[in-house]
């Protein structure tokens, strides 16, 4: 069993009167791909934002490598965790290369010249995401799919140990969706990168994840391997759909949705 890299304990978060996360306990194992699934509005983005510190929960604790995130210096935390939100704010009038360089910020120091390391990390991140040819283009002029890959490049340039992504395949055609999934798997296998992502596509989640966590109505209702989590009963109670579960050639579950209940 691998060590937990992220531990969430008794986490509750409300927006005014609206209780969104309700006493969440969750551990994310290091070096694995973990996918968070659940219906629209159930709190998936809120949970990721709480983990990276953009939202402050009313109750509970979040630990990175066994140490509360509240006690990490912001720059140190950013060296470990990179987050790609669902709709990142697009800086105006900046080139792709300049944007990817922004990922280097946590590594830069006034007392040490990091230019060589920065260049190497930026070039590697753009090569991995196949965005090198776009480097001089303005980010504002990119297509949705190119933009998504460029954001991932920026997160990779940060050289995090944990990469959190909120619906990274939105806007992508089916080929580029698989390309992103394959890229994340490669980074996970080759560099031991821990990946935590939100996906809506259940079969991609089943195929590419070591672990799946299911959030519903602000509660964590199931966690475990795709095999144990993806059941007809779970899809019925969480998504209110009628389904059957088949097997891929690699043994991973393949969900066939027949319709609404």
With beta carbons less than 8 A apart as the criterion, state whether 72 and 60 touch: no
With beta carbons less than 8 A apart as the criterion, state whether 9 and 46 touch: no
Write b or e for each residue in 147-176: b if 16 or more Cβ atoms lie within 10 A of its Cβ, otherwise e: bbbbbbbbbbbbbbbbbbbbbbbeebeeeb
For ligand ATP, the closer of residues 40 and 71 by Cβ is 40
Compute and round to an integer the Cα radius of gyration of the chain: 19
For ligand ATP, the closer of residues 131 and 209 by Cβ is 209
Least separation in angstroms between CB 169 and ligand ATP: 13
Question: In 3D, which of 9, 86, 5 has the Cα closest to residue 48?
Answer: 86
Question: In 3D, which of 19, 73, 83 has the Cα closest to residue 51?
Answer: 83
For ligand ATP, the closer of residues 17 and 250 by Cβ is 17
Least separation in angstroms between CB 55 and ligand ATP: 8
Rounded to whole angstroms, the maximal C-alpha distance in the chain is 62
Least separation in angstroms between CB 11 and ligand ATP: 13
Which positions touch ligand ATP (CB under 6 A)?
A: 15, 18, 20, 38, 40-46
Strands (E), 143-190: 162-166
SS3 92: coil
For ligand ATP, the closer of residues 21 and 125 by Cβ is 21
Angstrom distance (rounded) from CA 53 to CA 195: 17
Least separation in angstroms between CB 15 and ligand ATP: 3
Least separation in angstroms between CB 14 and ligand ATP: 9
For ligand ATP, the closer of residues 59 and 137 by Cβ is 59
Angstrom distance (rounded) from CA 205 to CA 57: 27
Least separation in angstroms between CB 180 and ligand ATP: 17
For ligand ATP, the closer of residues 14 and 183 by Cβ is 14
SS3 109: strand
Angstrom distance (rounded) from CA 226 to CA 27: 16
């Amino acid at each position: 069993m691998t060590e937990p890299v992220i531990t969430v304990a008794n986490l509750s978060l409300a927006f005014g009167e609206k209780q969104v996360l309700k006493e969440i306990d969750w551990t994310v194992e290091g070096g694995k791909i973990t996918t968070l699934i659940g219906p629209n509005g159930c709190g998936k983005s809120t949970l990721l934002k709480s983990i990276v510190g953009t939202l402050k929960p009313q109750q509970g604790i979040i630990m990175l490598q066994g140490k509360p995130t509240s006690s990490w210096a912001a720059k140190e935390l950013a060296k470990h965790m990179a987050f790609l939100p669902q709709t990142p704010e697009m800086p105006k009038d900046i080139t792709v290369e300049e944007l990817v360089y922004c990922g280097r910020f946590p590594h830069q120091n006034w007392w040490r010249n990091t230019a060589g390391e920065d260049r190497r990390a930026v070039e590697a991140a753009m090569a991995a995401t196949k965005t090198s040819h776009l480097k001089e283009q303005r980010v504002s002029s990119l297509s949705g799919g190119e933009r998504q890959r460029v954001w991932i490049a920026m997160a990779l340039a940060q050289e995090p140990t944990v990469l959190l992504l909120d619906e990274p395949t939105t806007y992508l055609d089916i080929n580029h969706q698989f390309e992103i999934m394959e890229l994340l798997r490669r980074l996970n296998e080759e560099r031991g990168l821990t990946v935590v992502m939100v996906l809506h596509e259940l079969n991609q989640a089943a195929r590419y994840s070591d672990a799946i966590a299911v959030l519903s109505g602000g509660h964590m209702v199931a966690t475990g391997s795709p095999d144990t989590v993806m059941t007809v009963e779970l899809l019925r109670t969480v998504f209110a759909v009628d389904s059957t579960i088949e097997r891929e050639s690699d043994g991973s579950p393949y969900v066939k949705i027949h319709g609404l209940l």
